[in-house]
Amino acid sequence: MTRSELRLLRYFVAVAEERHFGRAAERLRMAQPPLSQQIRKLEQGLGAELLDRSCRPIGLTEAGQAFFAEARLCLVHAERAFTAARLAAAGQLGQVRIGAMQAAVSGVLPHVIREHRRSHPDVALEVVDLGTLEQAHQLVEHRLDIGFLRGPIDDASLTVEPLLHDPLMAVFWDDHPLAGEERLSPSVLSGQPTLLWARAAAPTVYADVVELFRRHQIDPRVVDESPRVESVLALVAAGLGIAFLPTSFVNLGRRGVRFVPLTGSIPDRPLELAWRTDNTSATLSAFVDAARRSVPCYLADLTARHPSLQL
């Protein structure tokens, strides 16, 4: 529907509601003669009389009554459409499809979502738990809008921005002799029975743990590998071995385990945001801003519960 057609509908609805050309013209802030001419133009276009001008106040013909009901609905829907477009252009409406690796789901993502919903409550958020490579693939294919992942990502079509540091920590069962330490050098853990998060499930974490072993000349005694981080923590709690996991997993709150920060040179692969560079959506931009704003709050909450952390 064109703007001129919508304008004619507004003119007719005003006259039909006021039942008086003069009052309708005042309401529309226009002179009465042009209003009368526009209503005649509308009737000529429809090929039907809409107003009964022989009575006072003005009445509606049968065609006018039918047209009036639909015209009001049309104006309501048009106003909704205009409002929706304005809100979407301001980032206040729409959808953000989010990919997130497990560390983000367990860590910063809930803070990001809370921060975003405070200012953009009408934007729909869809979260999918995915690893880095699958996120990158779906971002390029326009199946995701943004990803929480760990690099490196080598794709010129994506913008990648570090969000926060998420260093490895040692994880012990409660009564392990080292569980009460405030901080530890990784080198003292050589020879400890060790549980690994399997490479196929967490390739970036696995690579960082292997690099930690290399840097500190740790000779691990690997007793098991598990595809799920929850299983790794359960086995640690059972006393089968220690583990090395990113700081974000402190938030899982597994009973029976203790996370202890590590000193010295620790592989540092930050949690990052990634999105298509050509995605200039205001809705996406607002979500990225919310993610940036949420980090200080997340880190403050984390360090308040775990004072030994230095993030």
* Tens-level pLDDT at each residue, the chain (311 residues): 677 788 888 888 898 888 988 898 889 898 989 888 988 988 888 888 889 888 888 888 988 888 888 888 988 888 887 766 776 676 666 899 999 999 999 999 999 999 999 989 989 999 999 999 999 999 999 999 999 999 888 899 999 999 999 999 999 999 999 999 989 999 999 999 999 999 999 999 999 999 999 999 998 899 999 999 999 999 999 999 999 999 999 988 789 999 999 999 998 889 999 999 999 999 999 999 999 999 999 999 888 877 767 65
Cβ–Cβ < 8 Å for 80, 73? no
pLDDT for position 92: 67
Per the CB < 8 A criterion, the answer to whether 104 and 148 are in contact is yes
CA distance 169 to 303: 14
With beta carbons less than 8 A apart as the criterion, state whether 96 and 124 touch.
yes
Q: Is 146 helix (H, G, I), strand (E, B) or coil?
A: strand
**What was the pLDDT predicted at 151?**
85
CA atoms of 144 and 126, how far apart (whole Å): 9
> In Å, what is the CA distance from 285 to each residue of 76, 89, 141?
30, 11, 19
Handedness of CA 300, 253, 127, 225 (dihedral sign): positive
Distance CA 222, CA 80 (A): 61
CA atoms within 13 A on the CB side of 117: 9
What local confidence, expressed as pLDDT, does residue 16 receive? 86
- For residues 229 and 245, is the Cβ–Cβ distance under 8 A? yes
pLDDT of residue 196: 97
Both tokens of 251, joined, read 């938030």
* Domains within the chain, CATH numbers bracketed: 3-89 (1.10.10.10), 94-165+270-305 (3.40.190.10), 168-261 (3.40.190.10)
The whole-number pLDDT of residue 271 equals: 95
pTM for the structure as a whole: 0.71
The pLDDT value recorded for residue 85 is 72
pLDDT of residue 1: 66
Task: Enter the tokens of residue 124.
Answer: 């729909």
Nearest C-alpha neighbor of 91 from the set 111, 113, 121: 121
Q: What is the pLDDT of residue 48?
A: 86
